[in-house]
Amino acid sequence: MQFGHFDDEAREYVITTPHTPYPWINYLGAQDFFGLVSHMGGGYCFYRDAKMRRLTRYRYNNIPVDDGGRYFSINDGGDVWSPSYRPYKTELDRFETRHGMGYTRITGARGGVEASVLLFVPVDINAEIHQVTLTNTSDAAKSLQLFSFIEFCLWNAEDDQTNYQRNLNIGEVEVEDGAIYHKTEYRERRDHYAVYGVNAPVAGFDTDRDSFLGYGNGFDEAVVPHTGKATNSVASGWYPIGSHQLSVELEPGESKQFTFVLGYLENAADDKWEAPSVVNKKGGRELLAHFATNEATDAEFAKLNAYWDNLLGSYMVESGDDKLNRMVNIWNQYQCMVTYNMSRSASYFETGIGRGMGFRDSNQDLLGFVHLVPERARERIIDIASTQFEDGSAYHQYQPLTKRGNNAIGSGFNDDPLWLIAGVAAYIKETGDFAILDESVPFDNDESKATSLMDHLKRSFDHPLHNMGPHGLPLIGRADWNDCLNLNCFSTTPGESFQTTENQAGGVAESVFIAGMFCAIGPDYAALARRRGDEAEASRAEAAVSAMKQAVVDHGWDGAWFRRAYDYYGNVVGGDENAEAKIWIEPQGYCIMGGVGLEDGKAIQALDSVRERLNTPHGIVLLNPAFTEYHVELGEVSSYPPGYKENAGIFCHNNPWIIIAETIVGRNEYAWEYYKQITPAYREEISEVHRLEPYVYAQMIAGKDAQRHGEAKNSWLTGTASWNFVTVSQYLLGVRPDYDGLVVDPCIGAEVGEFTVRRQVRGATYEIHVTNSGSGRASLTVDGEPIEGNHVPYAPAGATVKVEARV
């Protein structure tokens, strides 16, 4: 069952009913100002940091679901409704939401009136724009009252939800010419304020929530829209809001358009006031003046579309498979940019107050967006590396506003250091910017301890070597990639964090997964050292990788698959001797990506075990059999019910590692099958089962042991986005950057047939036409000349290179 459809030409997903299984959302913003918006207008916006600079309030886990957001209410002779359906749930003659690249357009029609709301954040302006168009589709004149509504958050979103003894007393606003200025805490410590205005005369306004809603009322019972008259309330403590009333007269067939602007402004410390206790509104006035005409709004919207045209032009595929085309060309790359901006901090499953930017997460996100914004990838690399410690470890998270490590989470996740090498290598392969390795980068943001980025990479590489267990495998620390495998925690206290509680010392918990990572990522460190003329360091690194491969073979192989780990006591985790969780997905992918088992058949055996024991029609589960009881020595992983999240759920993030592994061993059809199982466009027709957005990846799909097998959770902010783009673009379609050229090595199902990839890299354009039979390795001709191997040398900037590949 579908609840909408793709419009590929417009690069939109069109939702045709408000009654989706869950709120289907979009993200607004590309630089510093961001918003989340559901198909019914729910969500919120913030400047840079969803915790510390939240402009509008949103209530998670609310009943009804998705209550609160940006509402536009129409009173048509006493008939009160909204084009977003919510909050009134008045039945509409027509409903449509179009989620596009950085914008959402919600349209509703009722009683001869059509109302359309375009929401977007301009590329270089810290504001959310709401352009409302009202059209009289009847044959009689209409006299309407239009009401806007947003609810201000008191900036710190966590404090806003908890510190009521203070917060219910401090709300302050100013109103000037119908524009509402939110200035809570501005007099004491803040240098920022918000403004909400409209480019039309207002018939009234409200800034106090109780006055607008009526005490004790829900949004659907709001007094002001139902009476058709604003109260001109001025908030004093309690709950500040922003609402405007516009009186709109429409002749038959006439349309009128209004631009509402919700902006974030800052003032210098010595320029905060224009009069005693009166905010200096110069910036706010200039912002509203910029959008004084609807033509100006249209121009900013055109800039936004041009911005995405440019970004999405760097990698494109033309094939006979529309689902493949739309995922590669539009939605997967779009989601990669959103994960770059948000990491894992703000979604409809992450409140924006509990997590910052992840060290591991952001390095993996780099893999999917570096081709889109390489200059911003460079900045992100420096930010990430600056949170590293001198021993090579790192803060697990950092805050986007301060770019400093998050002490609440701390460090000790022993896979973190290696991801920095992966991110830097991906950046250099894309750009050729080896100079970044000479950049001076601090440890723990302390400039007195700054050293070269290359030295940071050395310490990353050495970290697992300096933290080895008795089997010659890396110690796991607090956790490796799987934050729920906590082999040193032993938590028996309800509510205690598995990741941050004090770990027991003296254990020998080792990670086969980190060993596989080391084998896969270590060769890039060796290559970078060699290109800097440090042959001794390159040789040392290669020897260490070789030794780690042998340790995996000797102690990480269980006979038919790779083990997952050794626990605190030295017992096997992920072996046939275990009654539960005999096999785990992570090492099967990464050990093979690291080259283990390719020559002696172990790789094929492991992948066959994955297919037999882990695969389902909805994707590959993380482990099998599922845990049915709590194992204190394993931590959070066994605390989930069977089939959910890390306990045998389909964790989409690591499905791509198996897909890549299948391409490495040359099994095109299995790789293609696994790709389609979790890719949202191929799941659109079962949206009633999948439940979440059919245009972006989810973190998790319920596994075969769950009651709701196939149901997704945690959409949008997941490493699945970057990893699946790497998988489809670099391994299935087979076009990936290397240090000296493009590797062209397609490995995709025969049903895809002929396809063409257009890839821009280092200023040149590569048009790669593939004749695909679905088996074997490609033979290449470059500009009409046959070449040996699969490396196409980089061409000068401005050149166009034509490649023919026959598989």
Residues labelled as active-site residues: 483
Q: Which residue has the tokens 């799941």?
A: 683
User: What letter does residue 252 receive in the DSSP assignment?
Assistant: T
Asked if 37 and 25 touch (Cβ cutoff 8 Å), the reply is: yes
Per-residue DSSP letters for 676-745?
HHH-HHHHGGGHHHH-S-TTS-EEEE--TTSTTTT-EEEESSSTHHHHHHHIIIIIIS-EEE-SSEEEE-
Residues 6+ apart with CB under 8 A from 197: 178, 179, 180, 244, 260, 261, 284, 288
Instruction: Tell me if 15 sits within 8 A of 99, measured CB to CB.
Output: yes
The span from the CA of 224 to the CA of 209, in Å, is 10
Q: Report residue 384 CA to chain centroid gap.
A: 17
Tokens of 271: 């320029």
Residue 641: asked if its preceding bond is cis (omega within 30°), the reply is: no
Tokens standing for residue 577? 């001797």
DSSP structure string for 102-123: TEEEEEEEETTEEEEEEEE--T
Q: Where are the alpha helices (DSSP H) in 18-101?
A: none
For 57, the token pair is: 């309030």
Handedness of CA 524, 526, 529, 535 (dihedral sign): negative
Which contiguous run of DSSP H or E holds residue 5?
Answer: strand 4-7
Half-sphere CA count of 172, side-chain side, radius 13 A: 13
CA dihedral 708, 713, 719, 723 (to 10 degrees): 40
How far apart CA 283 and CA 193 sit, in angstroms, is 10
CA–CA distance, 557 with 512 (Å, rounded to integer): 9
The count of other CB atoms within 10 Å of the CB of residue 437 is 18
Give ∠ CA 781-785-788 in degrees, rounded to 5.
60
Sign of CA dihedral 332, 434, 441, 527: positive
Quick check: 708 and 726 in contact, CB under 8 A?
A: no
Rounded-to-integer distance, Cα 7 and Cα 320, Å: 16
Token couple for 277 = 């206790």
Cα four-point dihedral sign 152, 154, 160, 163: negative
Phi/psi-derived region of residue 178, left when phi > 0, alpha when psi is between -120 and 50, beta in every other case: left
d(CA 10, CA 148): 28
Q: In one letter, which amino acid is 200?
A: A
Whether the CB-CB separation of 482 and 646 falls below 8 Å is answered with yes
Rounded to a whole number of angstroms, the distance between the first and last alpha carbons of the chain is: 36
CA angle 400, 405, 407 (to 5 degrees): 120
Question: 444: which residues sit within 8 A by CB, 6+ positions away?
Answer: 386, 387, 388, 389, 390, 395, 405
HSE on the CB side for 231, CA within 13 Å? 20
Residue 16's alpha-carbon distances to 84, 526, 690, 742, in angstroms, are 11, 53, 17, 42
